[in-house]
Amino acid sequence: MIAPGEISVSVRDLTRRFGDFVAVNRLRFEVRKGEVFGFLGPNGAGKSTTIRMLCGLLAPTEGEATVAGFDVRTQAETVKKQIGYMSQRFSLYEDLTVEENIDFFGGIYRIPPGRKRGRKEWAIRMAGLSDHLRTRAAHLSGGWKQRLALGCAILHEPPVLFLDEPTSGTDPISRRSFWDLIYSLSGGGTTVFLTTHHMDEAEYCDRLGLVYRGELVAIGSPGELKAGVPREEIVDVRCERPQEAIEVLSLLPGVLGAALFGGGIHAAVERGRMTPAAIAEAIRSAGFPVERAEEIAPTLEDVFVSLVERRDRAAGPMAEVRG
Amino acid sequence: MNARRLLAVSRKEFLHVRRDPRSLGLGIAIPVVLLLLFGYVLTLDVDRVPLAIWDRSRTPESRELVSRFEGSRYFQVGLRAEGYPEVEEAIDDGRVLAALVIPEDFGGRVRSDRSSIVQFLLDASEANTATIALGYAETVVSGYSADLEVRWAQAKGLQGVRPPLDVRYRVWFNTDLESRNFIIPGLISVIMMIIAALLTSLTVAREWEQGTMEQLIATPVTAPELILGKLLPYFVIGMVDLAVAVAMGKYLFHVPMRGSLPLLFGIAAVFLVGALSLGMLFSVAARSQLPASQMAMAFTFLPAYLLSGFVFSIDSMPRVVRAVTYLVPSRYFVKVIKGIYLKGVGLGTLAVDTALLLIFGAAMVLAATRMFRKKLR
């Protein structure tokens, strides 16, 4: 458990419905100060809805949440002073230049005149935008836009930063340098709460919450999550025609789930029920030449798929109807 | 409310306007074009009515009547006819609007001091113009008739005889009786209302549409800072429009300005804040540009044009419609602007109208601010 003084974001039974649709269903978790917390899940899992509620942009239907100690339902405007927010879609002013956008948010956040220059220069340097000051935001590429948006969101040194899909639509190099920025902010004590649907990116987070259909499926550090499937092992099967072989594989006794993964198949197998060699034999005899089958350390994706499938099995056909 | 935040919003909004030729054109060019169009086209004056004259009498008396028509600024003799077919043809093809036919015995009857009749034919397909032309003709004829009576009396040795009734009139406020002098001031108020509401109807809605509002409502900016900050640049545009319109009135249309220019600008500023905030209210409520601008058009153009009294007299409207006009803010500003322009009246006379405009302005600012929600739906 996290000590009360160390909590930056606290969420209790947070729920949001749009009509009959439950976008976020009774979420409950806490985020430590200075932590990089990732919200991982497929599109439509309720990640953005959650972030919007935490930023005071969307009223929760039920439940409660505090950010930097303030209630998002009753103190939304105070919360907004404590946070920096970067929405999923680029939402700065495209007809304004980089510098004009920064100046605008500097004015909005009432950065004291004495520190204004310093903060502005810091944001520009940090985001590496010095060569683009007079460029209109519309003419920036995806990566630069992201840096500008981040620069504007951290001008006022907020203790909590919410980033909704911050790296969607950027190239790998921009993404890498973006993560360097995140780490330096987190190192300076800023809590960073971000959403992503990139599994590889999720590995960079200190802790992760896995969300699926509006519900929190698991929470922990990437290491904890990967170690946290004790009753299963992941077997990597490389064979011919994996798209067809997966049908055979998933029907084998003890196989809890199987997913295409790169050029092969990852199967979640109940521990002790079937060895990799037995699986290879079964597939080979079904007419699919097997190159190799071996137990591997699970990736986050394996964890995610396994948890989601387990949940779907538990929820039964009703979940399909609801979804 | 914080001044720094408000100014940051204003500055940003000003940059949007400067970078967007469309809104700049809408703000400055359209008012000028409207004023030119309406100023030249919309005239209610009837003068130099084209007239045909068929003088069958050809006597000094008939010639004097003809010369009185020729001398009037309200008529222009376009045809000297010789017979009805010619007169009819001229009226049919619209070359003349009216015809004066003087009978053969006119000269003789006038000389022998018996009453005579002249015929005045009118094309009444334009009823309003025909009525006015008829009035002018009666004035010319009765003037001559009165002079004749005096002459007859004098010929009979009666000295000092004058027509029994004689109206001495002086025209106040619009001495030239030029409709342009009251249409232009009224027009300025109509244009200000429409343009102001249209301009601001786009601003908040555009931010919702483009997604920038989501970023903005995640900051500590407050509704009054945002609404008033956005208002400021459009207020400047509105006042520039007013200055351009007043200058055009003076130098292009030669509309005399009798009252205080600072007073006009002062009350116009109040009216402008109301009109801008009304547009803002639509923008806040609709959250998208098309419905917001349509609402702004629908709720400002027709009321400001038809029910403000800018050209259609409120006094002659049916009672129900007259009651509705009290809800049209333009009505009060039209009264103010006409009062200042034509009568040169001061704040004392315009106090009630100014107070109502103040209430309108304050109510609209308050409504737009209150309606604005820093929440997604």
For residue B47, the model assigns a pLDDT of 77
Contact A80 B220 (CB under 8 A): yes
Q: Choose one of A186, A220, A254: the last residue of a domain.
A: A220
Model confidence over B119-159: pLDDT tens digits? 999 998 888 888 888 988 998 998 898 888 888 888 887 77
Same domain for A234 and A207? no
Pairwise CA distance, residues B229 & B152, whole Å:
78
Give the mean model confidence (pLDDT) for residues B74-84.
90
Same domain for A236 and A101? no
Contacts B216 to A, Cβ<8 Å: 108
Question: Among A80, A93, A109, whose Cβ lies nearest the Cβ of B212?
Answer: A93
Strands across the sheet containing A62-67: A21-32, A7-18, A62-67, A70-71
CB-based contacts of A267: which residues, under 8 Å, 6+ apart? Answer: A234, A235, A237, A249, A250, A255, A257, A258, A279
Contact A58 B214 (CB under 8 A): no
Per-residue tokens: A116: 């204004």
In A30-97, which ranges are continuous DSSP H helix? 47-54, 76-82
Tell me the pLDDT band of B74, cut-offs 50, 70 and 90: confident
Tell me: pLDDT of B231 over 90: yes
Model confidence over B188-216: pLDDT tens digits? 999 999 999 999 999 999 999 999 999 99
Contacts A152 to B, Cβ<8 Å: 215
Element (H, E) at B281: helix B261-286
DSSP string, A64-77: EEEETTEETTT-HH
Contact B215 A85 (CB under 8 A): yes
Tell me the pLDDT band of B347, cut-offs 50, 70 and 90: very high
Model confidence over A271-307: pLDDT tens digits? 888 889 999 999 999 999 999 999 888 888 888 888 8
Contacts A52 to B, Cβ<8 Å: 376
Strand B98-102, strand B49-55: pairing: parallel
Element (H, E) at B370: helix B347-371
CA dihedral B267, B269, B273, B279 (to 10 degrees): 100
For residue A29, the model assigns a pLDDT of 96
For residue A123, the model assigns a pLDDT of 85
Which residues of A have a CB under 8 Å from any CB of B? 52, 55-59, 76-77, 80-81, 83, 85, 87, 89-96, 100, 103-110, 149, 152
Same domain for A137 and A26? yes
Pairwise CA distance, residues A208 & A162, whole Å:
14
Tell me: pLDDT of B364 over 80: yes
Give the mean model confidence (pLDDT) for residues B160-175.
71
| CA–CA distances in Å: residue A35 to residues A172, A210, A312 | 23, 16, 31
Pairwise CA distance, residues A284 & A307, whole Å:
28
Contacts B15 to A, Cβ<8 Å: 93, 95-96, 100
Give the mean model confidence (pLDDT) for residues B268-273.
97
For residue A230, the model assigns a pLDDT of 63
Nearest to A209, CA basis, from A91, A79, A300, A141: A300
How wide is the angle at C-alpha B205 spanned by C-alphas B200 and B209, nearest 5°?
A: 145
- B202 interfaces chain A, CB cutoff of 8 Å: no
Task: Name residue A37's beta-bridge partners.
Answer: A193, A207
Contact A100 B5 (CB under 8 A): no
For residue B26, the model assigns a pLDDT of 81
Tell me: pLDDT of A163 over 70: yes
Question: Among A57, A85, A91, whose Cβ lies nearest the Cβ of B211?
Answer: A91
Contact B15 A107 (CB under 8 A): no
DSSP-derived 3-state class of residue B35: helix
Mutant choice from B2, B202, B214 vs A, greatest count of A C-beta within 10 A? B214
Give the mean model confidence (pLDDT) for residues A62-70.
96
Same domain for A239 and A216? no
Same domain for A25 and A137? yes
Contact A89 B212 (CB under 8 A): no
Same domain for A131 and A50? yes
Model confidence over B245-260: pLDDT tens digits? 999 999 999 999 999 9
Per-residue tokens: B109: 């009857």
For residue B119, the model assigns a pLDDT of 93
Pairwise CA distance, residues A173 & B153, whole Å:
112
Question: Among A81, A92, A109, whose Cβ lies nearest the Cβ of B215?
Answer: A92
More confident residue, B26 or B211: B211
- Residue of chain B minimizing CA distance to A149: B215
For residue A209, the model assigns a pLDDT of 95
For residue B284, the model assigns a pLDDT of 96
- B12 interfaces chain A, CB cutoff of 8 Å: yes
Domain count, chain A: 2
Question: Among B5, B211, B222, whose Cβ lies nearest the Cβ of A89?
Answer: B211
Question: Among B19, B215, B222, whose Cβ lies nearest the Cβ of A87?
Answer: B215
Pairwise CA distance, residues B302 & B304, whole Å:
6
Asked whether A137 and B19 are in contact (CB, 8 A), the reply is no
For residue A193, the model assigns a pLDDT of 97
Pairwise CA distance, residues B254 & B248, whole Å:
8
Give the mean model confidence (pLDDT) for residues A65-79.
96
Give the mean model confidence (pLDDT) for residues B37-45.
80
Tell me: pLDDT of A54 over 90: yes
Nearest to B335, CA basis, from B241, B253, B240, B268: B268
Give the mean model confidence (pLDDT) for residues A238-259.
89
Domain of residue A62, CATH code: 3.40.50.300
Judged by CB atoms within 8 Å, which residues 308-367 of B form the interface with A? none
Domain ranges, residue A216:
4-220
Across chain B, what does the average pLDDT equal? Answer: 90
Pairwise CA distance, residues A200 & A240, whole Å:
26
Same domain for A238 and A211? no
Pairwise CA distance, residues A178 & A145, whole Å:
11
Q: Choose one of A220, A242, A276: the last residue of a domain.
A: A220
Model confidence over A117-137: pLDDT tens digits? 999 998 888 878 889 999 999
- Residue of chain A minimizing CA distance to B11: A104
For residue B33, the model assigns a pLDDT of 92
At residue A3, what is the residue type? A
Tell me which long-range contacts B25-28 makes (C-beta under 8 A, separation of at least 24). B26/B195, B26/B198, B26/B199, B27/B195, B27/B199, B27/B234, B27/B237, B27/B241, B28/B237, B28/B240, B28/B241, B28/B244
Give the mean model confidence (pLDDT) for residues B255-282.
96
Percent of chain B clearing pLDDT 70 (strictly above)? 97
Contacts B16 to A, Cβ<8 Å: 93, 95-96
Pairwise CA distance, residues A103 & B323, whole Å:
50
Same domain for A273 and A134? no
Same domain for A147 and A295? no
* Separation of CA A237 from chain center: 28
Question: Among B210, B213, B219, whose Cβ lies nearest the Cβ of A80?
Answer: B219
ipTM passes above 0.90: no
CB-based contacts of A274: which residues, under 8 Å, 6+ apart? Answer: A252, A253, A254, A255
Question: Among A81, A94, A149, whose Cβ lies nearest the Cβ of B220?
Answer: A81
Tell me: pLDDT of A319 over 70: no
Contacts B210 to A, Cβ<8 Å: 91, 94
- Lowest mean pLDDT, pick from A95-109, B14-28, B87-101, B201-215: B14-28
- B217 interfaces chain A, CB cutoff of 8 Å: yes
Give the mean model confidence (pLDDT) for residues A39-57.
94
Q: DSSP class of residue B218? A: T
Taken in order A19, A23, A25, A28, is the CA torsion positive or negative?
negative
- B232 interfaces chain A, CB cutoff of 8 Å: no
Domain of residue A306, CATH code: 3.30.70.100
Per-residue tokens: B257: 């300005």
Contacts A90 to B, Cβ<8 Å: 211
Q: Choose one of A187, A220, A253: the last residue of a domain.
A: A220
Mutant choice from B19, B24, B214, B215 vs A, greatest count of A C-beta within 10 A? B215
**Residue A238 class from Cβ within 10 Å (0-12 exposed, 13-18 middle, 19+ buried)?**
middle
Same domain for A129 and A163? yes
Same domain for A120 and A168? yes
Contact A107 B4 (CB under 8 A): yes
Give the mean model confidence (pLDDT) for residues A210-221.
93
For residue B161, the model assigns a pLDDT of 67
For residue A232, the model assigns a pLDDT of 81
Contact A57 B2 (CB under 8 A): no
Model confidence over A187-205: pLDDT tens digits? 999 999 999 988 888 899 9
Task: Count CB neighbours of A246 within 10 A.
Answer: 21
* Separation of CA B11 from chain center: 36
Q: DSSP class of residue A46? A: S
Tell me the pLDDT band of A323, cut-offs 50, 70 and 90: very low
Pairwise CA distance, residues B329 & B336, whole Å:
11
Q: How far is A180 from chain B (nearest CA, A)?
A: 23
Same domain for A132 and A40? yes
Placement of tokens 């010929």 in the chain: B155
Give the mean model confidence (pLDDT) for residues A101-110.
95
Element (H, E) at A177: helix A172-187
- Residue of chain A minimizing CA distance to B215: A91
Asked whether A74 and A244 are in contact (CB, 8 A), the reply is no
Q: What is the pTM of this model?
A: 0.83
Tell me the domains of chain B and their CATH numbers: 10-43+178-371 (no CATH), 49-155 (3.40.1710.10)
**Residue A188 class from Cβ within 10 Å (0-12 exposed, 13-18 middle, 19+ buried)?**
exposed
- Residue of chain A minimizing CA distance to B21: A95
Q: Specify whether the backbone of B177 is left (phi greater than 0), alpha (psi in -120 to 50) or beta.
A: left
Per-residue tokens: B249: 């009135």
For residue A233, the model assigns a pLDDT of 86
- N residues, chain B: 377
Contacts A94 to B, Cβ<8 Å: 210
